[in-house]
Amino acid sequence: MKITDLKCTVLGENPVVRITTDEGISGLAPVESYKPYLKPHVLFYKDLIVGADPTNVEQIMLKIRRLGSFKPWGSAVSAIEIALWDILGKVTGLPIYKLLGGKVRDRVRVYNGAIRFPMNGQSPDDYAENMARMKASPEGFTIIKQGIGFHSDMVKDVPDFFYGDIQVGGRHPNRGPLTERGLKHVVACVEAMKDVLGDQIGLALDCGPGWTISDAIRLAQALEPLNLLWLEDLITGDYTPYVLPELYREVTLRSSTPIHTGEQIYLRHNFKSLIETNAVNIIGPDPCDIGGLAELKWVAEYADLHGIMIAPHGTGDGVLGLAALVQVAATLPQNYIAFEYPIGRPDWWYEIVDGLPKPIVKDGFIEVWDRPGLGIEIIPEAARRYLPPEDADFFD
């Protein structure tokens, strides 16, 4: 079997990668929805993989892995790796989790991720109301994550929130010391959310990046009585192209509130210091950014050796990313907490794929399915109408 082509298109909000072979078997993979501009970068790898045997996954990855980088530039490499596992699963008739060593669990816990409700404002009452809606969502999440601080509109909507100049634009560009008023506001909003959730549902917070070390310590210590699951990306994260484990370690050692980061990190090499120094309590790699499924599993196992938990990121990975996360999460060690649940956007994504359970999430869990490869397929006849004109041959 040989690879004959590498293709990339955008369906709705999600770039999709397809690897074709001379035996008519193809593999699919996602690119995170926030990266439609990555199509040329995906195709950059075409000449390096065409002609190779797709079932030799690691051999191909050794050729291309070193050419990726931190989020978003590891997405192309990650997608190729996932598509290769999809092909290998179809060739062998096995789900990917079998190829990664077999499953540890029959169902995987997820948290809300892409299931969000619009905020009416940034007051404690607004956060409480939003949390009540999240708590009532039909998925029955046992963990809910909410953005606060620099990962929210507090920066622009709360007067005198921090000592700094507000940077406009996406990807969370703000950074600086909080005012006393700003810090108290954050704590009040978290307390309001916990009043709604009680001890029935775990609360995690997406915090930044952008916090100073002293403010991060103050926040973590102030929230200790609330028994939060984690504080995420306080210092670096998202599109930050470095880790700064020594700074995270300062925060982690000063509080019992668990500290979390890792969604932007590419490859095991860049998790090494974070894990070996126990700089955080929880890591959150994304299979669509870290370098793929086997890379994520390796990092999870290495973290487990150091007493570090894992809660994989995935909010923008779409329906194909959901399938990939289910497969790899089934194989992870007992340091696994939950992964961030992605959804298809627009809703017609659920009309163009075959193989998803209904409902997908029940009582906060997804049952692990046993179909070959990723276990879901895009239905070409249903999807063609949504293809950009220049990609009309994507399914050919």
**CA 222 centroid distance within chain:** 27
Q: Please check whether residue 96 is in contact with residue 325, taking contact to mean a CB–CB distance below 8 angstroms.
A: no
Confidence category of residue 170, pLDDT binned at 50, 70, 90: confident
pLDDT beyond 80 at 34: no
Q: Which pLDDT does position 168 carry in this prediction? A: 86
Tell me what pLDDT residue 169 has.
83
Fold equal for 3-95+379-391 and 98-372: no
Q: In this predicted structure, what is the pLDDT of residue 32?
A: 86
What are 71-120's pLDDT values in tens digits? 999 999 999 999 999 999 999 999 999 999 999 999 999 999 999 999 99
The pairing of beta strand 339-340 with beta strand 107-111: parallel
Query: Pseudo-torsion of CA 298, 304, 306, 312, nearest 10°?
Result: 70
CATH fold for the domain made of 3-95+379-391: Enolase-like; domain 1 (3.30.390)
How do the residues of the chain divide into helix, strand and coil, expressed in percent and rounded to 5? 40, 15, 45
- Please state, rounded to an integer, the average pLDDT across all residues of the chain: 97
Spell out the domain ranges in the chain. Answer: 3-95+379-391, 98-372
Q: What is the pLDDT of residues 176-221, one digit of tens each?
A: 999 999 999 999 999 999 999 999 999 999 999 999 999 999 999 9
Q: How confident is the model at residue 43 (pLDDT cuts 50, 70, 90)?
A: very high
> Span 98-372: which CATH code?
3.20.20.120
Radius of gyration of the CA atoms of the chain, in A: 21
> 335-392: per-residue pLDDT in tens?
999 999 999 999 999 999 999 999 999 999 999 999 999 999 999 999 999 999 999 9
